[in-house]
């Protein structure tokens, strides 16, 4: 079944480079609506919790350090077929493999500093959105 919500983070590299606005513009131009948004900075512990699914991966410690190294912007997005369409818009995890015109192709610096996160399933989109936003902080 097609879903209508996904979750994204503008990562520290894109925030620091001043690309938040340009990335949000691409997201809105692709038909997504912003249903919740905030700038914040994760602690290493919170980054570890958010990325717990990757805790056995060799890059986990670096990822947690990186994701807590500076501000991020957390966003809940709505659109028909949101999870899949957003993953198409952002492109492959490794920007070297990302298609032309995708957010990661344009803005990402490396596989770790890859500009944006995008949920990989409906279930994770809901979990990740709830990680950052209470019911009162998002359009329900």
Residues of this chain that bind ligand CMP (CB under 6 A): 54, 59, 63, 93, 111-112, 114, 117-118
- Please check whether residue 89 is in contact with residue 30, taking contact to mean a CB–CB distance below 8 angstroms: yes
Verify whether residue 54 is a known catalytic residue: no
Taking the least distance from each CB to ligand CMP, the nearer of 10 and 37 is 10
Minimum distance of ligand CMP from residue 140's CB (angstroms): 25
Options 117, 125, 129, 133, the catalytic residue: 117
Distance between start and end Cα atoms, the chain: 20
Taking the least distance from each CB to ligand CMP, the nearer of 109 and 138 is 109
- Please check whether residue 27 is in contact with residue 134, taking contact to mean a CB–CB distance below 8 angstroms: no
- Please check whether residue 86 is in contact with residue 32, taking contact to mean a CB–CB distance below 8 angstroms: yes
Return the structure tokens found at 136: 């009162």
Minimum distance of ligand CMP from residue 104's CB (angstroms): 9
- Residues with a catalytic annotation lie at 117
């Amino acid at each position: 079944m097609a879903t209508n919500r996904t979750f994204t983070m503008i990562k520290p590299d894109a925030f620091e480079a001043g690309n938040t606005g340009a990335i949000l513009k691409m997201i809105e131009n692709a038909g997504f609506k912003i249903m919740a948004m905030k700038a914040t900075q994760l602690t290493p512990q919170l980054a570890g919790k958010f990325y717990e699914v990757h805790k056995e991966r060799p890059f986990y410690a670096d990822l947690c350090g990186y994701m807590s190294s500076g501000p991020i912007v957390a966003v809940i997005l709505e659109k028909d077929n949101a999870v899949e369409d957003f993953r198409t818009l952002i492109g492959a995890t490794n920007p070297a493999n990302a298609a032309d015109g995708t957010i990661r192709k344009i803005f990402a610096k490396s596989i770790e500093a890859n500009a944006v996160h995008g949920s990989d399933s409906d279930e994770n989109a809901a979990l990740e959105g709830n990680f950052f936003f209470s019911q009162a902080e998002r359009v329900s």
